[in-house]
Amino acid sequence: MKLEGEGCLLRIYIGEQDKWHHSPLYEAIVLKARELGMAGATVLRGPMGFGAHSHMHTAKILRLSEDLPVVIEIVDTDEKIRTFLPEFDAMVKDGLITLEKVRVIKYQGNPAKL
């Protein structure tokens, strides 16, 4: 896949404990992105954060079982990202989804890793 120049960055902010059909929501989103042929996706786990309900989520030693913040980032063309957006209407019940333009400098896989 070739991806250069103008692209889009989709960010999805959810909780680590959020589910989709008994599986972690972040996992379901990444698998759906792969199924739809997106360029790639990354899941980032945050040590602390809060959202729309202002409830603090933290990884402090006494609260290790708390629902930590998770951010999923997907970069691809504007067209592919926008066709992916309707998938979230049913999947993301509580969270934040943002979209911004990005400039892709380099996107290349290592053929030796195939």
CATH number of the domain bearing residue 82: 3.30.70.120
- For 43, the domain range is 5-106
Residue 76 CA: distances (Å) to CA of 21, 47, 62, 67, 80: 26, 27, 39, 29, 6
Residues 6+ apart with CB under 8 A from 27: none
Contact present, 7 and 101 (Cβ < 8 Å): yes
Q: Is 72 helix (H, G, I), strand (E, B) or coil?
A: strand
Residue 57 CA: distances (Å) to CA of 7, 81, 94: 32, 29, 14
67 belongs to a structural domain = yes
pLDDT for the residue 48: 79
Of the ranges 20-24, 39-43, 52-56, 98-102, which one carries the lowest mean pLDDT score?
Answer: 52-56
> Structure pTM?
0.83
17 belongs to a structural domain = yes
Q: Give the count of domains, the chain.
A: 1
15 belongs to a structural domain = yes
User: For 29-59, how does the pLDDT look when each residue is reduced to its tens digit (9 = 90+)?
Assistant: 999 999 999 999 999 998 777 777 666 666 6
Q: Is 26 helix (H, G, I), strand (E, B) or coil?
A: helix
22 belongs to a structural domain = yes
19 belongs to a structural domain = yes
